[in-house]
Structure 1
Amino acid sequence: MSELAVTERTRHRRMRENGSVRKADLDAVLAAGFVCHLGVVVDGTPMVVPTVYGATGDTLYFHGSVASRSLQQDPAAELCVTVTHVDGLVLARSVFEHSVNYRCAMVYGVPRVLADEEKLEGLRVLSEQCAPGQWDYARRPNRKELAATTLLALDLAEASVKISVGPPDDGEGPDAELGLWAGNVPIRTVFDAPVPAPDLADGITLPDHIAALRTA
């Protein structure tokens, strides 16, 4: 699938020029982070919960005990998962024209709760998205830990993507004569130097895959 299906929920209505139906753009937005916001209705109350995720192929994996509660009440309960990256402030000559540069994806659907035998693969994807190489380095979950973990999978078939880039666009209007600075201020997320646990035994060195996060 090279293009995303357009549904009533994913149709771009505002700022259509920022919308994308390219599956590659959805994959790129999801690959660039590991924290999403899960929108779900629990006991009749809407909730938006931050949680970690991992994406691969056509599936999004995420921790979701809150969503699991909702699914117990209504197995067909729909939810929405949102991933957003803020890439910069767009500062125009007037406050009205201010905006942000961003990449955002919204995924809709009914998730499925993974059984223990499926959780390992989902947890591997999630772990590798957060810290590539850590799955093979650290101890993997045992049966008791798997039983205590709620992991859900959501198909990526229904998704909406928007991407906003570039400078302010008021340079040809009357505000251009105000003599004020205008432009964009890029924002990026970086990993700082790893800090060892205070009880780390002497002689245990930083593994290469964690050191590499600073240059990723």
Structure 2
Amino acid sequence: MKCGKRNRYAALLAAVLLSLCTPAWAAEPKQELSYILLLKAQRLDREESLAAATVAARVAMEAGRREGVNGIKARLDGGTLLVNLLFKQGKYAEARAAAEEQVAYEDAAEALSNGRRFRNYHSAKLLGVAIEASMRAGERAEVTRLQEKLFAVGRPYSGLWRLTPDEPRLRYELAGLSLPLMVGQWKLTEFEPADKRDFSARVRYTQALVNVVVY
């Protein structure tokens, strides 16, 4: 009888000790991968659950940043979705701020890489939406400032293209071409200078786009 009690006490003690020795990670929920979080955000967007999709897109973007190289898709696509969702909901100031935050993040990440700096097409597209959002919000001063960023992101060859925000105009010195940055409700939202002499440049103006989508 005493032996049976001792065995029960021993088993109970062993269970207590085992619970105390269980690693902390075993009790913590496993974090979902960024691409799974991105898929959830995209599903919510398709379902028109815009508020929930906005939160999910931000979570996916931030998870992608934490994952580094493995999270690039969620970082970029999640961030793009976040900006577009804010725009679709008429939160233009927030959309602009989210776009600018991502452009600054990408610039900082590129600077840390110590590699050759290339034209960042993702940042250029985000800035195009930010310009459109600022125009919708009636922030014309912000439009000019963002167009200066768009010009810098385009990395044009020095001496060929020149931006004169005081006028405000975009000038192509080689051909003596001068383009306005804004005419009425039309504004420059895309600037892609030619990479080589025989290539063509791309300049795009938009007016009150509805539900802008960035790819």
Bin for the TM-score computed over the shorter chain: under 0.3
Question: So what's the TM-score if we normalise by structure 1?
Answer: 0.24
Question: So what's the TM-score if we normalise by structure 2?
Answer: 0.24
Specify which structure has the higher proportion of helix. 2
Indicate the structure (1 or 2) with the bigger Cα radius of gyration: 2
Specify which structure has the higher proportion of strand. 1
